[in-house]
Structures are given as structure tokens and as C-alpha cells.
């Protein structure tokens, strides 16, 4: 029985000779992402900026325009409505009201009364009503930032202990690149940035570092095995030796994520999109950034048994 090979066993793609182009592209991605963040900012969800969120379901397809016009007359400040998966489901966001929790409750009741007068009390179902105050939203934001920073520090420590400090620096460079790029794409597309997005960023970090560790492990093995092999040739060979695993893992993960994106509904669509982008950018950074970065670090070849060294490589 003939097995299917997505990547030939004898493949030899020259990654390292193009490292300058990869570095330039990565710098461009980082600068663009940071520029989008500082100029346009992020579309923070209710988790981070506070406010009221109401999810409703109607018997018939909701008339978003009529609802928006009616709620706009309530003088509650910024109100946004969007279809949430199905034509009968609507997500309503209302800016935080002045006056504490009691004012928020008054605003919620005003919205319900207005919607029931438009649609009919028996034809509308309130699926969830949430309120996040400014103090809670501020704490959630900084907790999210801390979670990402601590994850990066923990990954650096893990790579440092398992390999050498040079590998840790290379992994963190690639990881930071992935996180900044993800934030940049959210800013560019105006997608809602909330706690679910933070979870996606942390998941992306885990996926990216897992891919990087696999390649680094082969690099370490080859460093011990080939004592005189040119470093660029050794790194390029290590990338090609693990390329099949990298491609298969990425493709199978993307198949599952695309299924979630198109079939999972609006609730997890933004999370699925972040993961799809993260898998793509994480695979790129592992192959084109994390390993080529080792060329500029003083890697040690003294570890391992001398008798395993191959001094006459082809």
C-alpha cells in the first residue's frame, strides 16, 4: 500500500539563504501591527471597556434598522446592534451609563420596554444580559496583559532550561512576533477584542512554541551529531527534516479551525479566526524566524558525546 506524503522525504528547501528577507518581512509586520494599534486602536469588547450587553432572539427575522432607530431615541449614548449568527438573533451593546449599577438596570429595562413595544413581548426572548463596570473591565484588561506576559516569561524559562539561553531568546522573538501580529490583525479588521481573544492569544502562544520546540530539538540533536558542519547548512537541514511534521500538523489543525469558523456560529467565530491566523503566523515564525535567528547567536557544539560526531559530512 502506497502512503501519501505531503512533503517528500528528500526535500531540501533553502530557507537560510532568504533569512534577510524573512527578517525584513517580520519587522514590517511588527511595525505595521504596532502602528495600527497606536493609531487605530482595538475594538475592545464589553469585557475591557464596560457597558451593557443584551442578546435577544425573535420569532421572525429581526428588523435591525427599526430596532436601531427605536433604541437610538432612548438617549442612552452609543448603542450598537448586530446580527448574531442567525437572522432571528441580535446582539445589543450599550455604553456604560452614569450613575452606577442602578442606572444600568434602568437602561436595561428601558431597552426591554422599547423592544417589546416594537416586536411584542411574547415574540422576543432575552438570552443573556450582562453588565461590566469600569473597575472590573480595567482589572480584566490588566489581568489579560499579565497573563500573556507571564506566559512569555514561562516559555522563555522552559526553553532556557531545556536547551540553552540562545534558544530561549529565539523562541521569545518568534512568540512576541506572533502576539503582536495577532493584535495588529484585530486592529486592522476591527474585530472585537475581549477575554476570548486573550484566550486565543495564549492558545496561539502554546501552539507556536510547540512547533518551535520540535524544530529546536532537531537542531540540538544535529549540533551534537555534526561538529564541523556549517551552521547555516545544519539549521537548514534541521528545518527540512521536520518540515513534514510541521506541514501535517498545521494542515490538520487548520481543517478543524475552518470547520469551527464556518459551522461553529458567531459565538466562537472571532476565536476561530484568531486561531486560524495564529496557526499560519506561528508556523511562519517557527520556520522563518525562530531558527534563522540562531545564526546570530553563539551556539555551543560542545555538548553530547564526541564519538557521535560526524566530521566528514557530504
Q: pLDDT-derived band of residue 306, with 50, 70 and 90 as boundaries?
A: very low
Q: In this predicted model, what pLDDT tens digit does every residue of 7-54 receive, in sequence order?
A: 666 777 888 889 999 999 999 999 999 999 999 988 887 777 778 888
* d(C-alpha 295, C-alpha 211), whole Å: 19
In a domain, 313, yes or no: no
What percent of the chain stands above pLDDT 90? 18
Please, what is the average pLDDT of the chain? 83
CATH number at residue 180: 1.20.1640.10
Last residue of a domain, one of 132, 155, 173: 132
Do residues 118 and 161 share a domain?
Answer: no
Long-range contacts: 108-116, Cβ < 8 Å, 24+?
108/52, 108/54, 110/74, 110/76, 111/52, 111/54, 111/71, 111/74, 111/76, 112/54, 114/70, 114/71, 114/74, 115/56, 115/67, 115/70, 115/71
Kindly tell me the sign of the dihedral angle through the C-alpha atoms of 223, 229, 230, 235: negative
Instruction: Report whether pLDDT(245) > 50.
Output: yes
Instruction: Report whether pLDDT(300) > 60.
Output: yes
Q: Is 265 exposed, middle or buried (0-12, 13-18, 19+ CB in 10 A)?
A: middle
Query: Given this model, what pLDDT does residue 7 score?
Result: 66
Do residues 199 and 120 share a domain?
Answer: no
Which residues does 297 contact at the CB level (< 8 Å), separation at least 6? 166, 169, 170
* d(C-alpha 270, C-alpha 141), whole Å: 18
Cβ contact 93:52 at 8 Å = yes
* d(C-alpha 161, C-alpha 190), whole Å: 39
Query: Given this model, what pLDDT does residue 34 score?
Result: 95
Instruction: Report whether pLDDT(308) > 50.
Output: no
* d(C-alpha 155, C-alpha 157), whole Å: 5
What percent of the chain stands above pLDDT 70? 90
Q: In this predicted model, what pLDDT tens digit does every residue of 187-241 receive, in sequence order?
A: 999 888 887 888 888 888 888 888 888 888 888 888 888 878 888 888 998 999 8
Q: Is 68 exposed, middle or buried (0-12, 13-18, 19+ CB in 10 A)?
A: middle
Q: Which of 1, 107, 118, 18 is nearest to 54 (CA)?
A: 107
In a domain, 204, yes or no: yes
Cβ contact 290:214 at 8 Å = no
Do residues 164 and 244 share a domain?
Answer: yes
Cβ contact 76:105 at 8 Å = no
Work out how many domains the chain is built from and give that number: 2
Q: In this predicted model, what pLDDT tens digit does every residue of 112-142 receive, in sequence order?
A: 999 888 888 788 888 888 887 666 667 777 8
In a domain, 166, yes or no: yes
Query: Given this model, what pLDDT does residue 135 score?
Result: 61
Query: Given this model, what pLDDT does residue 253 score?
Result: 92
Domain span holding position 260: 16-44+137-308
Beta bridge partners of 82: 91
Helices (H), 91-133: 101-119
Do residues 155 and 277 share a domain?
Answer: yes
Query: Higher confidence at residue 155 or residue 39?
Result: 39
Do residues 189 and 264 share a domain?
Answer: yes
Query: Given this model, what pLDDT does residue 304 score?
Result: 41
* d(C-alpha 119, C-alpha 56), whole Å: 11
3-state class of 309 per DSSP? coil
Q: What is the mean pLDDT of residues 161-171?
A: 83
Q: pLDDT-derived band of residue 168, with 50, 70 and 90 as boundaries?
A: confident
* d(C-alpha 67, C-alpha 13), whole Å: 57
Q: What is the mean pLDDT of residues 244-256?
A: 90
Amino acid at each position: 500500500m502506497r502512503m501519501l506524503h505531503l512533503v517528500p522525504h528528500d526535500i531540501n528547501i533553502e530557507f537560510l539563504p532568504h533569512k534577510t528577507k524573512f527578517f525584513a518581512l517580520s519587522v514590517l509586520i511588527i511595525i505595521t501591527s504596532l502602528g495600527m494599534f497606536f493609531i487605530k486602536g482595538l475594538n475592545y469588547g464589553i469585557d475591557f471597556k464596560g457597558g451593557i450587553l443584551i442578546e435577544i432572539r425573535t420569532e421572525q427575522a429581526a428588523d435591525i434598522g427599526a430596532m436601531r432607530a427605536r433604541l437610538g431615541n432612548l438617549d442612552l449614548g452609543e448603542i450598537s446592534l448586530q446580527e448574531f449568527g442567525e437572522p432571528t438573533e441580535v446582539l445589543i451593546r450599550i455604553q456604560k451609563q452614569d450613575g452606577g449599577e442602578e442606572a444600568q438596570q434602568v437602561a436595561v429595562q428601558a431597552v426591554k420596554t422599547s423592544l417589546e413595544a416594537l416586536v411584542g413581548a411574547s415574540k422576543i426572548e432575552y438570552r443573556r444580559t450582562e453588565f461590566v463596570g469600569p473597575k472590573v473591565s480595567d482589572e480584566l484588561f490588566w489581568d489579560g496583559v499579565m497573563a500573556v506576559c507571564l506566559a512569555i516569561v514561562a516559555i522563555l524559562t522552559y526553553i532556557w532550561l531545556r536547551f540553552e539561553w540562545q534558544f530561549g531568546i529565539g523562541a521569545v522573538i518568534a512568540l512576541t512576533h506572533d502576539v503582536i501580529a495577532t493584535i495588529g490583525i484585530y486592529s486592522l479588521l476591527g474585530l472585537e477584542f475581549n477575554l476570548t481573544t486573550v484566550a486565543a492569544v495564549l492558545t496561539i502562544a502554546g501552539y507556536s512554541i510547540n512547533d518551535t520546540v520540535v524544530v529546536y530539538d532537531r537542531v540540538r540533536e544535529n549540533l551534537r551529531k555534526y561538529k564541523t558542519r556549517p551552521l547555516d547548512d545544519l539549521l537548514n537541514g534541521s528545518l527540512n527534516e521536520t518540515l513534514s511534521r510541521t506541514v501535517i500538523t498545521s494542515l490538520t489543525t487548520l481543517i478543524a479551525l475552518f470547520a469551527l469558523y464556518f459551522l461553529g456560529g458567531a459565538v466562537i467565530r472571532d476565536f476561530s479566526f484568531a486561531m486560524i491566523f495564529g496557526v499560519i503566523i506561528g508556523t511562519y515564525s517557527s520556520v522563518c524566524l525562530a531558527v534563522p535567528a540562531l545564526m546570530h547567536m553563539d551556539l555551543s557544539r560542545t555538548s553530547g558525546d564526541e564519538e557521535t560526531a560526524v566530521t566528514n559530512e557530504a
